[in-house]
């Protein structure tokens, strides 16, 4: 069994690097929500999700306005809180012809 730490060197993400502007699309990211609200079933699911999961009653326009207020800095702050080296996990399921390849990466 392979055990060890998984860090930014394995995942390939430098720690706490600001996302480039091209990675965040802005208003275009609301497209899925807007499209789902065009269908009666989507409207029902939107209402139920708000009522049951969030215990609130919000209009779609309120949610869209809140999405428009999200900044790159907001996303970066939340990402830094959630994505931390001590929280990363890796599962390697084999058998492998060359397990040493993985063991070297994980023994740091």
The pair phi, psi for residue 35, each rounded to 5°, is: -65, -40
CA distances from 24 to 17, 38, 89, 107 (A): 14, 24, 25, 34
Residues 32-89: tens digit of each pLDDT: 888 889 999 999 999 999 899 888 889 999 988 988 888 878 888 888 888 777 777 7
pLDDT score for 25:
58
pLDDT score for 3:
46
Residues 24-41: tens digit of each pLDDT: 655 556 788 888 899 999
The CA distance from 26 to 77, in Å, is: 17
The CA distance from 101 to 98, in Å, is: 6
The whole-model pTM stands at 0.54
Asked if residues 67 and 28 have their Cβ atoms less than 8 Å apart, the reply is no
Which residues of 5-107 form beta strands (DSSP E)? none
CB neighbours of residue 74 within 10 Å: 11
């Amino acid at each position: 069994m392979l055990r060890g730490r998984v860090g930014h060197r394995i995942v390939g993400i430098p720690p706490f690097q600001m996302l480039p502007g091209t990675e965040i699309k802005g208003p275009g990211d609301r497209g899925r929500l807007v499209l789902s609200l065009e269908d009666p079933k989507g409207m029902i699911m939107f209402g139920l999700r708000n009522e049951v999961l969030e215990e609130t009653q919000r209009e779609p326009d309120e949610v869209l306005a809140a999405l428009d207020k999200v900044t790159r800095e907001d996303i970066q702050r939340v990402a830094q809180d959630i994505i931390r080296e001590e929280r990363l996990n890796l599962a390697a399921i084999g058998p492998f012809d060359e397990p040493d390849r993985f063991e070297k990466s994980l023994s740091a």
